[in-house]
Amino acid sequence: MKIVVINRLLKETHKEQIRKAAAVAGGSVLFVGSEEDIPSGWEDCEVIYGFGMKNAGKNKDLKWLSVPSAGVDYLMKPGVFANEDCLVTNSSGAYGVTIAEHIIAVSLMMMRRLDYSYRESLKGNWSSPVLQKSLKDCRILVLGTGDIGCSFARRARAFEPECIIGVSRSGMCEDPAFDAVKKVSELDLLLPSADLLVMSLPDTPETRDILNRERISLLPYGAFVVNVGRGSAIDEDALCESLENGKLGGAALDVFKTEPLPPDSRLWKTKNLLITPHVAGNLTLEHTLNVNVDMFCKNLINYSKGLPLNNLIDKSKGY
Amino acid sequence: MKIVVINRLLKETHKEQIRKAAAVAGGSVLFVGSEEDIPSGWEDCEVIYGFGMKNAGKNKDLKWLSVPSAGVDYLMKPGVFANEDCLVTNSSGAYGVTIAEHIIAVSLMMMRRLDYSYRESLKGNWSSPVLQKSLKDCRILVLGTGDIGCSFARRARAFEPECIIGVSRSGMCEDPAFDAVKKVSELDLLLPSADLLVMSLPDTPETRDILNRERISLLPYGAFVVNVGRGSAIDEDALCESLENGKLGGAALDVFKTEPLPPDSRLWKTKNLLITPHVAGNLTLEHTLNVNVDMFCKNLINYSKGLPLNNLIDKSKGY
C-alpha cells in the first residue's frame, strides 16, 4: 500500500508517528511538500493524506483521500475523482480549539473596539474612549453545533453570557455548554434576540445564503456577526449594507464567497468589518497539526483492518 | 450632607439609584459632568463620588472621596487633601469583568497574530499565514490575584491552559481558578515557565519596575506580556529592546509610565507591541458602570450609619 502525505508543515516527530502507523498498517509512506512533488512510481498511490486533488482526478487506484481540512465542499463537484468510489475523510474535530479561540478573539476585538484602538495606535494616536460591549450578559446564537460550535460555547460560557443557544439541523446536541439547541427551522424566531451570531456551517445547498438580507434585518440593532464556516453562507452585499448603515455593530469574516478576497472587493473598505484571510483554522497552530496527524494515524489503522473510517464524508450530503 | 457626583456617563437610571441611596443616607445630591462645574454653595461638600482632586485639595470639609477607578496612586502624594483625615475608597471590584475580557482579547490577538492580519487587511492584502500560538496548553502567570486577576483566571481556565499560577504579596488566594498561588518573593523562579505573563498590580513602592530588565531576561523565548495594572511596573526601555530583538513574542500594554503616551515615545514604533490607550477598564462598558454605581450606593448607606466602608484605602500602603 502506497501512502502519499502532502504537508510542508510536518515536523520530524509527526513523520515518525505516521511512519509507525504505516508500518502497522502494512504500507510505505512518501512525504512531499506539495502535490507537484509526487515522483513517478507514486502517482498510483492508494492513500493520500493532504490536499491531493490533482492526483485524485487522474489516479484510478486512489481508494482513500484524507484531507486535513474540515470543509470538503471543493471535493463534492462531479469529476473530482477518477475513482468514483474513492473514500473521503475530513479532519473535523481538529479545529475546535483553534477556531473557538479565533471566534472569541474577533468577537472581543469588535465588541471592545480594539480594531479602532489598534488602527489609531498605528498612527501614534492616543485615541478617545469609545462605547464598548461585553460578552457578559450577551445573548449568543451559534449556527452549527459541531466540534467548532461546541468548543466555542464552552469557552464563551466562562464570560457569563446571558445565554448561548445552538442551532443545528437536528436541533440536538449533547454539549452542556449550550442553554438550548434548536432546529434550523426556528432560526427566524431566534435571530431577533441574538446580540452575537456565530456561524460555523459547512457549505451545502441548505446553508448557502442562509444569512440573507431578510434574516440580517431580523437581528437586533447593533448585533455582531462572526463567520468561520464557509463564505457561501452569507449574502455579502446585504451584510456590507447593514454595516455601512449602522444596523450591525460589526462583523468578522474569516471566509468569503471568493478566496482570496479580490483586491477590488467592497468588503475591504466596509465599516466595522474585520477581515481575516481564512486563518481561523490554520495548521500553523501546533496543537491543530498534532490532533490532525493523530486522527489520520488512527484512521490508517482502521483502514488497514477494514474497519469503518472516522469522519467519512457522505458525498450525497456533502459533509 | 452634601454629596457631589462627578461623572458625565451616568444615565438617568443611575442618577435615580444614587438619589434614592442619598435620601436613605440623609443627604442631597448634585450631579455634574466635571469638577469645574461644581457651583458655589457646593464646594464645601462632605462627599464626592468621582474624580474630585481639585476640590479635595481645597475643601477642608470633605470627609469622603469615592473614586470610580481601581488605582488610587495619584491620590497618595502629600498635599492632595486639604483635610488629611479624608477617607478614600476606590472601586476595586468593578473592573474584573471588563479588564479580564481585555486581557483575553489582547492575548489572543498577539498569539494568533491578528494584529498582523488586521494591519494587512487595512491595506487590502490577503496576507500569508503566520505561526500562531494558543492559550491551549499555555503556561500562564498572573501577577496580582485581586478581582482582575481572578476574573481573568476564571475565563482563561476555559481555554485549557497547561497551568495558571497566581502571584500575590501574601501568596494566598482562595479562587479555584488558579492551580497555585505563590508569594512575590518566588517570582524569579516562576518567570522561566511563563509563556504568558499577565500583570495587574497597583502602583506601590514594591511594584515599581517589578518587571525589570533582569526579570524580562528570565522569561522563556517567545513569551507574551500583558500589563493592565499600572505602567510603573515595567522597565519600558528593557521591554522594547526584548521585543525588538525577538526575545519576547509580543506585549500588550494598556498602561504606561507617562499617559497619554507622548507622540515621540519609542513604544509607538516597537515591533509586536500592542498599545491601547488605558481603555481596558473603561466606564463606557455599561456593566462596569452599573457595578460601580452599585458599590457607591451601598457604601453611602454604610457611611451614613457610621459602618466601615468597603474598599477603604490604607494610605500607608497605597491600596
The ipTM of this complex is 0.92
The secondary structure of residue A136, as a DSSP letter, is T
B310 exposure class (CB count in 10 Å sphere: 0-12, 13-18, 19+): middle
What is the pLDDT averaged over residues B181-185? Answer: 97
What pLDDT digit, counting tens, does each position of B191-246 carry?
999 999 999 999 999 999 999 999 999 999 999 999 999 999 999 999 999 999 99
User: Please, are residues A44 and A63 in contact by the beta-carbon 8 Å criterion?
Assistant: no
pLDDT above 70 as % of chain B: 100
Fold topology of B2-92+285-305: Rossmann fold (3.40.50)
Interchain contact, A158 vs B155, CB within 8 Å: yes
pLDDT at A128 over 80: no
Contacts A–B by Cβ distance under 8 A: 140
Interchain contact, B101 vs A130, CB within 8 Å: no
pLDDT at position B245: 97
Place of cell 457610621: B306
What CATH number does the domain located at A96-275 have?
3.40.50.720
Segment (H or E) for B25: helix B12-25
Segment (H or E) for B141: strand B139-143
Interchain contact, A101 vs B274, CB within 8 Å: no
| pTM of the predicted structure, to 2 decimals | 0.93
Chain A residues closer than 8 Å to B155 by CB = 158-159
Chain A residues closer than 8 Å to B287 by CB = 134, 136-137
Name the CATH superfamily, with its identifier, for domain A2-93+284-305: NAD(P)-binding Rossmann-like Domain (3.40.50.720)
- The rounded distance, in Å, linking the Cα atoms of B196 and B137 is 11
* Dihedral sign (CA B123, B124, B128, B131): positive
Angle at A12 between CA A289 and CA A54, to 5 degrees: 60
What is the pLDDT averaged over residues B58-82? Answer: 93
Chain B residues closer than 8 Å to A99 by CB = none
- Best B159, B224, B267 member to test A by mutation, with max A CBs in 10 Å, is B159
Domains B2-92+285-305 and B96-275 share a fold: yes
Segment 101-140 of chain A within 8 Å of chain B by CB: 101-102, 104-106, 108-109, 112, 114-115, 117-122, 124, 126-137
Segment 242-261 of chain A within 8 Å of chain B by CB: 259-261
For the ranges A98-102, A109-113, B219-223, B278-282, the lowest mean pLDDT is seen at: B278-282
User: Which residue among B118, B134, B261 places its CB closest to the CB of A274?
Assistant: B118
User: What are the residue boundaries of the structural domains of chain A, listed by start?
Assistant: 2-93+284-305, 96-275
Chain A residues closer than 8 Å to B105 by CB = 105, 108-109, 112, 114
Residues 6+ apart with CB under 8 A from A276: A102, A106, A252, A253, A254, B114, B117, B118, B121
pLDDT at position A261: 96
- The rounded distance, in Å, linking the Cα atoms of A42 and A62 is 11
**Closest C-alpha to B64, from B20, B94, B25:** B25
- The rounded distance, in Å, linking the Cα atoms of B141 and B225 is 10
Interchain contact, B101 vs A129, CB within 8 Å: no
Chain B residues closer than 8 Å to A256 by CB = none
What pLDDT digit, counting tens, does each position of B281-302 carry?
988 888 999 999 999 999 999 9
